[in-house]
Structure 1
Amino acid sequence: MKLSQTGQHKKESGFTLVELISVIVIIGLLAGAAAPRFLDLNEDAHTASASSVYGAFSSATKIFNMGWRTNGSPAAPSVVDGVAMNASGWPGPPGATNHSDCVNIWQGITDTSLPIVPWTGSWTVGDRSWVAFGSGGNCIYIFLEDVSPLRYFFYTPATGNIIPVNI
């Protein structure tokens, strides 16, 4: 112990070994509980990726339709920049859609480097792409990079309605 200027013993202050070990144990428990959340960011990244593509597609269909309205809403279906437009001004052919129609809609209205392929009956998980499935006047766009949970959205060209699932 040190003596103070007045000649009395000065009490040392600090943490005891027990206090230090207790703090280290508590920090370790908190880190152990939080680590799984921070270490598994893949699902968040996949959801964010799918969500951004969904947002871009949704915005592109609305811009396409607004262009039709700006031109006076012509009654006859036409083709704009290689994309078929139906009588309601939404991108997509009048009537039923097939897988290729859905790919053409995607490629015609979005400016993305993400590959999209038409449905062939199966897909490979982990492909860094989307698959387009067309049936009964609807398009379904499925995110292939991770299918747990399956992320996709429905697009109905006749109404312009887009419904996201797990996005």
Structure 2
Amino acid sequence: MKTKQHGFTMIELIVVIVILGILAAVALPRFTNISKDARIAKLNAARGAVLSAAAMVHGSALARASLVDTAICAANVGPNPAIANNTSNLCTESGRVAIVNTYPAGTLNGIVDAAGLSLVFPATAATLAQEGYAATAVGGVATIQVTGGTDAPTCSFTYTAAAAGAAPVVSVINRAGC
């Protein structure tokens, strides 16, 4: 009497291997593109930090009602004057932050320091580079970039300082060069 053996035929095994190969070919580019996704996520986090910092500084400036502080800031670093006047700068835990119209200025000493994008206060181009950022500020418009992509200037967003009686403008993220 013959016993019937159970198992996969050669054709079934080849079909499974082909299917796995096709799936790997489709999935591999997605996994290799994960660094771009990380840069975009970092840019989104920076934009969120900028929006939060602008709101917190604005609330603090309003609460202080543009009155000059009575003492030098606990962390005596940042833009002058040393005693915060709450119209051109205000005290934070890390140091003084430059403000314009009760919102952070569109500068390194303004929004970049307020958002804490660098572990060092006040932020410099070198300390931002260590964190994977670059920032430029021209005419009250700060451009914040994440470095490491194919084209850093197009992996960015901008913060435009507040005009009188208005809020600052934070652009949408440009992720073309991430």
Same fold by TM (over 0.5)? yes
Flag as ranges the 4+ runs of structure 1 deviating above 6 A. none
May I ask how many residue pairs the two structures share in their alignment? 143
Cα pair 2:42 2:146 within 8 Å, conserved = no
Conserved 8 A contact 2:53-2:111: no
Partner of 2:171: 163
C-alpha distance in 2, partners of 1:103/1:47?
21
Instruction: Choose the corresponding residue for 1:79, options 69, 75, 89.
Output: 89
Give the superposed CA RMSD: 2.9
- 1:128–1:65 distance in 2 versus 1, CA, 3 Å: closer
Q: Structure 2 counterpart of 1:90, which letter?
A: Y
Whole-Å separation in 2 of the counterparts to 1:153 and 1:19:
52
Query: Which AA in structure 1 matches 2:143?
Result: I
CA distance in 1, matches of 2:138, 2:158: 11
For residue 20 of structure 1, give the secondary structure of its aligned residue in structure 2: helix
Q: Does residue 136 in structure 1 map to residue 149 in structure 2? A: no
Looking at structure 2, the residues matched to 86 and 128 of structure 1 have their Cα atoms a distance apart, in angstroms, of 26
Aligned to 1:146: 149
Give the superposition deviation at 1:129: 3.8
Which consecutive residues of structure 1, in runs of 5 or more, have no partner in the other structure? 4-8, 119-125
Percentage of identical aligned residues: 27
Asked if 2 retains the 8 angstrom alpha-carbon contact of 1:127 and 1:144, the reply is no
Q: Which runs of 5+ in 2 are unaligned?
A: 68-85
**Structure 1 residue 162: Cα displacement:** 0.8
Report if the CA contact (8 A) 2:104-2:111 is conserved. no
Query: Are the equivalent residues in 2 in contact too, given 1:116–1:129 (CA < 8 A)?
Result: no
Cα separation, 1, equivalents of 2:150 and 2:14? 44
**Structure 2 length-normalised TM:** 0.66
Q: Tell me the TM-score normalised to structure 1 length.
A: 0.70
2:77 maps to none
Alpha-carbon separation, structure 2, partners of 1:148 and 1:90? 30
8 Å contact from structure 1 (residues 90, 160) kept in 2: yes
Deviation of 1:128 after TM superposition, in Å, equals 5.5
Compare 64-73 and 54-63 and name the one that shifted more.
64-73
* Residue 37 of structure 1: aligned partner: 30
Aligned residue identity for 1:136: G
User: Is the CA contact 1:61–1:91 (under 8 Å) kept in the aligned structure 2?
Assistant: yes
In structure 2, what is the Cα distance between the partners aligned to 1:85 and 1:128?
A: 24
What is the CA-CA distance between 1:146 and the residue it aligns to?
A: 1.8
Q: In structure 2, how many angstroms separate the alpha carbons of the residues matched to 1:104 and 1:156?
A: 14
